[in-house]
Amino acid sequence: MKSIMKTFLLAGSAIFIAIILISFPQDAYEASIRGLNMWWEIVFPSLLPFFITAELLLSFGVVRFIGVLFEPIMRPLFKVPGTGSFAWIMGMASGYPTGAKISVRLRESKQLTQIEAERLVSFSNASSPLFIFGAISVGFFYDAKLGILIAVAHYCSNFLVGLCMRFYGRKAEKRGQQIMPHKKEKVTLKRALHEMHATRMEDKRPLGEILGDAVIQSIQTLVMVGGFIILFSVLTTLLYLVNITSSISLIIEQVFIYIQFPVNLALPFISGLFEITVGANLISKLTNDYFLSSIVLVSFILGFHGFSIQAQVASILSKTDIRFAPYFFARILHGFIASFLTILLYRPLYLNRQVINIGDVPVTTPVAEQNWGIIMSNLQHIGPAISFVFLGLAIFILMKRMRRA
């Protein structure tokens, strides 16, 4: 009976989406173009180098080298092997869903147990500094100082989520179902180098094939990411047009009244739960009278990731035995901790960072903060060229392999 109800629910949802797509074709087309532009100009060129580099570092044994050195840190703190540090660092540097992608690769190569992989996925996906400083702070709020507050709250809360998730799955591990045997050997540089060499020797593929596989696998993942970005861009627009988003916002408004948040932020907040960029942009336009409330909500949706990114992660995890539920729970936890830290750090990291102007030059604003806006602007100009070149390279590699076959 439960499976039948699920079938009818899924079929009904698909039919409903098809009907509203037919009812609003022009709006759906424009939303699709917006999602495609964001993927083509920013997401694809910014994530592709990280994905390819991650694949190469895994193949050449560098990740194993890092894992040996970071084992004494990652194991006591997060109850994951040292190789998890690579997914965590890369996830913060390049943004979601890089952490999930690398965690899956580590699980496929048997460097993580199922529970360890679920722990790692829960805190290795974070927003990139480029997005926080370039898009959110400079692009939406026109305030580079704000990036420090949001970034500190976001990454510190992500660390705290990792500490909390270390307790996940302890019963299963005690029963002996999820124990990855690891020798308690002394951590030395010699041992790390030996493990790196052994890992590289296990991969029998020639260098050309390794490079080709890295490009192909990275582009396949990014095409999937682009599809979800476009889908949720359209879905968010359609739900707004048929007043479903407005109806849900009525419930959120009651919660906001209870916690003394402005009710005007309810609708942008709902949009942010579906897609971070759309929600953060809408929230930034309503900051004049209730700035702190706006920043708290932005921190929450950054930690929650939005259903669009969650769908991307779910798709990546679906090929393995890594379950989605722990990741989803961690997203709610991340959102609430980030919101709390934003309130706690608002005065010391934002209000107290006064800018003294000499002429038109802000003296105390670090140059690095201003550069994020320049980086984002340049990426929008050169991003399409990077996307076109690597898509062409992927097509060339695939055609060459088809001829060999």
The model's pLDDT over 199-209, given as tens digits with 9 standing for 90+, comes to 888 888 888 88
Q: What share of the chain has pLDDT > 70, as a percent?
A: 84
Write the CB contacts of 337 (distance below 8 Å, at least 6 apart in sequence): 157, 160, 161, 303
| Residue-level pLDDT at 178 | 52
| Residue-level pLDDT at 384 | 65
* DSSP per-residue letters across 43-59: IHHHHHHHHHHHHHHHH
In this predicted model, which residue has the larger pLDDT, 224 or 378?
224
Which of 313, 315, 320 is CA-nearest to residue 108?
320
Which range in 3-12, 174-183, 309-318 is most confidently predicted, on average pLDDT?
A: 309-318
Query: What integer is the mean pLDDT of 118-145?
Result: 86
| Residue-level pLDDT at 358 | 38
Write the CB contacts of 82 (distance below 8 Å, at least 6 apart in sequence): 66, 67, 68, 69, 70, 71, 72, 73, 74, 75
165: confidence class by pLDDT, cuts 50, 70, 90? very high
Query: What integer is the mean pLDDT of 286-298?
Result: 83
The tokens describing 24, both together, are 């609003």
Q: At CA 68, angle to CA 65 and CA 71, rounded to 5? A: 140
In angstroms, what CA-CA distances link 120 with 25, 56, 124, 331, 339? 41, 20, 6, 13, 22
153: confidence class by pLDDT, cuts 50, 70, 90? very high
Over residues 78-129, the pLDDT tens digits come to 999 988 888 898 888 878 888 898 999 899 888 889 999 999 999 998 888 8
| Residue-level pLDDT at 357 | 43
The 10 Å CB-count burial string (b at 16+, else e) for 261-282 is beebbbbbbbbbbbbbbbbbbb
Beta-bridge mates of residue 361:
358
The tokens describing 172, both together, are 């299963």
Residue that has been written with the tokens 């919101």 in this structure: 339
Over residues 19-45, the pLDDT tens digits come to 999 999 999 999 899 888 888 877 788
260: confidence class by pLDDT, cuts 50, 70, 90? confident
198: confidence class by pLDDT, cuts 50, 70, 90? confident
Question: What pTM was estimated for this model as a whole?
Answer: 0.81
Task: Of 179-183, 263-267, 291-295, 328-332, give the lowest mean pLDDT range.
Answer: 179-183
Over residues 179-189, the pLDDT tens digits come to 555 556 677 78
Over residues 353-367, the pLDDT tens digits come to 655 443 444 444 444
Say whether pLDDT at 157 is over 90.
yes
Whether 67 and 111 have beta carbons less than 8 Å apart is answered as yes
DSSP assignment letter at 141? T
Which of 112, 53, 125 is CA-nearest to residue 320?
112
Which of 284, 267, 244 is CA-nearest to residue 142?
284
Mean model confidence pLDDT for the chain: 83
Query: What integer is the mean pLDDT of 380-389?
Result: 64
